[in-house]
Chain A
């Protein structure tokens, strides 16, 4: 048990120690504290088993008033001449009181009524009255029920019924110090200890050679909520560091783009189901009217229609500039990479972006309308799918996913296309983490790029769910303060 005591607890122990045990009131007086302080501190002391608190209830009798029949007997016996009933009644405050007294005295056989027309009251037997009188006196002077004869008890119960005597109960609390309390009090009495270090004590050097008094180091401290960054931000930071460590330069860009850059430049045909409003957010009433079928736009248009000079068949439909002008919230960040490609004529480059993409979805545990993707591209002579596989394996390893596989898949803008799947221990299955591939010539050549471009665009949320052991993506963006404040920083990692 900790010996750490509050100053009030110490005061009480040192007051109690010489007494051994004491009634509560006596202890309050001895400790020179107020009752509330003592009561609170006793709870703590008792819980630490330094004192034991006991209680007892005592009852005693209290005389409320003289029995009126004794008054009547006194009047009769002290009168110089016999009194008539009328005279006797006159000596009482009320006729009711007189009747009760008279009735009792006569039925007890103490008095009798004599005479003809003028009836007088005479004393018959004084001893019974005197024994009642002495009992009443002894009650008034504190005689307890325990010391009474059974006859007296009968009389008392009659007096109790009549309200002439009442029973009063008193409750007393007794506090006793335990052996452990005695030891603590000896410690507490050590006046050399410092309660609390103060600037004065430090300045005066009064601390020298003295100890600080022990405190209760097991007690609960008040709870508070420190500020903290969002877990998604921390995860993005981690991804950014992995990218930069692998020689990538970070891109940043707008969320709103003409459909041209989001879709057409990626060789996604204009009637592709993914371009429909059910899947894509188009901005109401807004379009990029400056977009004209010339330059890169014209080349892309031709690629769609007949393959342009790329050697492709193209999609074989009539391309419309109006469709390409519509403004969309980017559905993938590859749009940033493609724009960067079209602007930079570097023969060798690595760029990435971790930012939001938008899909017209109903939200559920695995679908969000806004989520993050960590897209990147690697451009360079001689790059091939083995390099893509090598990069992805290394990248995921750095993000803590050592167990990944690459499976073939399909995207309109890459050939070959690979998807990364990672093994989820929670789901006991392979979970799709993201797509990748080598940009098709139909994508690169209209942009004036003639070297291979490896591209990928995985999401971050599934990885985060795996790391945090969560099952619902909405948790990440649910703004639940309780989760944000209390989640373990390293949970699941």
Chain B
């Protein structure tokens, strides 16, 4: 979730309310206060509401909620006469560009910081780490229109932002931080997009880096915004958010004509978002007996407006998809904390899941037998699952790109997890008797089969097969009321000659035995260990 830092003195001035009022209401427009001190507050906002990514946007919403400025915000635009011509060769690289101009700006350092912070959040969120959308901000006074959005080869040279000398696209990609971080977006493309003016000054090499010549400062009075994208809709959305934010920052918005080979688009288009206004639907979702007039007042506080059966939201509200979205705006405008909860009593009795109850009864029996229950992770590592038992990992179920190798594959047995747990407890008093009831995964062709196992380990200087069998007998007698048969068998966890298969009603349930000295040693445990592992899913089927 993106985070924005706000200065409380700016907010109180922008909103015309006290700090306390502001801090109290922030959660009720869906903003989480991450931390606060006497001067500032850090706010976490939803990526679907990037319009709340600056103090301008938050103030705009709170003025509505507090009733000081309600209804649909209006955004006037005038044409600039500036054109941007799009090179047809970019259609397979980064086909779309949308632009706007904001004039009459007088920005201080904090204004610039807010705008840059929004730009970064948009890059990461809607922009999908610049793959889908990238934004460039420029000082229009350093640009000589008309502008072209052009495809160039990797040998093309320009001076990137913050550098003193010109370098090629190729070296910009290989040598700069931005090039290394985002260069992969181009794949194997042979041409690259640049935005240049009539004097061949490079504004930007999107989505990597801007040119140095047109950089924005607090002295910038007229700002030119470019938004390049692989999705026209996403580009338009992002431009709308940037443009309306600049308008809140005091800018007058002006349009730019974007010439594609086959059409001309004038951007930004700030026509309000429109949803069907379904009075009954809204009422049924929020459960409040509001009149149409009351509902409209709530919507006005959410900065929306209703015309006939059309609900209009500001263009920056990219999250409005369905008539049901109007319901939340009514609820927010009404005040979530003013809505009285109603508990709906149940008409039918509830029921426990039988299998979950069965698993729980096994836990009760094993604990009653004197064992400590453990709950370990289902995702484990190759060493403890396979290598320590000297068994092949060919049937492993691995996950892609795990953040930690300790959680890189799904276990097919509990004994390795339990042995790993005991290895972390070698300083605790012996005897140690532990069990786990857990999910295991086995590969079945192209699928994965999940089942529940019971694993037990007994560790102390006299631990033996016989003791393990005492627990097995007790568990089966108490859980199933049935006897089990043990027959000599081989299993990777147990020493040959000290291992048996466990069978009930001629169905193989698992294995029991004394752990191999190799495995005990691999886990750094200094005492003999015996144990068992049986398939509870199978046992449950047998009992049904």
Contacts and interface: CB of A to CB of B under 8 A. Distances in A.
Interface of A: 223, 225-230, 232-233, 237, 240, 243-252, 254-256, 271, 273, 277-278, 281-289, 307, 310-314, 316-317, 327, 329, 348, 350, 356, 358, 360-363, 369-370, 378, 380, 382-387, 389-394, 405-410, 412, 415-418, 421, 432, 438, 440-442, 452, 476-482, 484-485
27 contacts: A227-B366, A227-B433, A230-B363, A230-B374, A230-B375, A247-B346, A247-B349, A249-B353, A250-B351, A250-B353, A256-B441, A277-B401, A282-B400, A283-B448, A307-B321, A360-B403, A384-B286, A385-B331, A386-B288, A386-B339, A389-B341, A407-B28, A409-B30, A410-B319, A440-B322, A479-B374, A482-B425
Nearest to B404: A362
Contacts of B371: 227
A245 B448 contact: no
A247 B375 CA distance: 29
Counting from the closest, the 3 A-B pairs by CB-CB distance are A247-B346, A384-B287, A389-B341
B128 interface: yes
B342 A256 contact: no
A408 B322 contact: no
Contacts of A442: 321-322
Contact of A281 (B48, B336, B399, B429): B399
Interface string B384-414: 0000000000000111111110010010000
Contact of A232 (B30, B128, B375): B375
B360 A233 contact: yes
A382 B284 contact: yes
A281 to B, nearest CB: 4
Contacts of A383: 344
B307 interface: no
A87 to B, nearest CB: 79
A350 B346 contact: yes
B447 interface: yes
Nearest to A315: B321
B429 A225 contact: yes
A350 B350 contact: yes
Contacts of A416: 285-286, 327-328, 331
B425 A480 contact: yes
Contacts of A417: 328
Given A225-B372, A233-B375, A289-B446, A390 B344 contact: yes
Contacts of B164: none
A287 B445 CA distance: 11
A110 B370 CA distance: 92
A387 B30 contact: no
B372 A393 contact: no
B41 to A, nearest CB: 13
A390 B375 contact: no
B332 interface: yes
A417 B49 CA distance: 14
Given A384-B287, A408-B331, A273 B47 contact: yes
Nearest to A397: B343
B379 A369 contact: yes
B344 A227 contact: no
B343 A481 contact: no
Contact of B363 (A229, A250, A310, A412): A229
A340 to B, nearest CB: 12
Contacts of B231: 316-317
Interface of B: 27-30, 32, 46-49, 125, 128, 132, 231, 233, 276, 284-288, 319, 321-325, 327-328, 331-332, 336-337, 339-353, 355-356, 360, 363-364, 366-379, 397-404, 407, 410, 421, 424-425, 428-429, 432-434, 439, 441, 446-448, 450
Contacts of B339: 385-386, 389
Contacts of B336: 406-408, 418
Contacts of A243: 350
Given A273-B128, A283-B398, A418-B336, A278 B403 contact: yes
Contacts of B344: 378, 380, 383, 387, 390-391
Contacts of A244: 349-352
Contacts of A392: 341
A482 B343 contact: no
A176 B350 CA distance: 76
Given A277-B400, A307-B322, A480-B425, A327 B448 contact: yes
B286 A385 contact: yes
B319 to A, nearest CB: 7
A432 B1 CA distance: 14
A407 B30 contact: yes
Given A247-B349, A307-B321, A479-B376, A390 B400 contact: no
Contacts of B403: 278, 360-362, 369
B370 A227 contact: yes
A251 to B, nearest CB: 7
B269 to A, nearest CB: 16
Contacts of B363: 229-230, 233
A143 B447 CA distance: 103
A78 B447 CA distance: 121
Contact of A391 (B343, B366, B421): B343
Given A226-B370, A360-B402, A393-B343, A477 B375 contact: yes
A177 to B, nearest CB: 41
B321 A313 contact: yes
A361 B401 CA distance: 11
Contact of B325 (A249, A382, A415): A415
Contacts of B434: 481
Given A362-B404, A386-B339, A452-B284, A246 B350 contact: yes
Interface centre among A250, A479, A482 (most CB of B within 10 A): A479
B114 to A, nearest CB: 22
Interface centre among A229, A415, A441 (most CB of B within 10 A): A229
B446 A287 contact: yes
B348 A247 contact: yes
A479 B425 contact: yes
Given A256-B441, A277-B400, A393-B341, A228 B322 contact: no
B322 A386 contact: no
Interface centre among A312, A329, A384 (most CB of B within 10 A): A384
A384 B284 contact: yes
A361 B397 CA distance: 18
Contacts of B343: 387, 390-391, 393-394
Contacts of A284: 397-400
B360 A386 contact: no
A307 B323 CA distance: 12
Contact of B328 (A226, A271, A415, A480): A415
Contacts of B48: 410, 412
Contacts of B375: 230, 232-233, 476-477, 479
B350 A286 contact: no
A248 B346 CA distance: 8
A227 B372 contact: yes
A142 B356 CA distance: 90
Contacts of B379: 281, 329, 358, 369-370
Interface centre among B322, B349, B356, B404 (most CB of A within 10 A): B322
Given A232-B375, A329-B379, A356-B439, 14 more contacts: A227-B370, A227-B372, A240-B352, A250-B352, A252-B355, A310-B322, A385-B331, A387-B341, A387-B343, A408-B29, A412-B48, A432-B32, A481-B432, A484-B372
Contacts of B321: 307, 312-314, 442
B373 A230 contact: yes
Contacts of A480: 424-425
A115 to B, nearest CB: 89
B353 A251 contact: yes
B328 to A, nearest CB: 4
A324 B105 CA distance: 47
Nearest to B364: A229
Interface centre among B48, B323, B342, B397 (most CB of A within 10 A): B342
Nearest to A416: B328
Contacts of A370: 377-379, 407
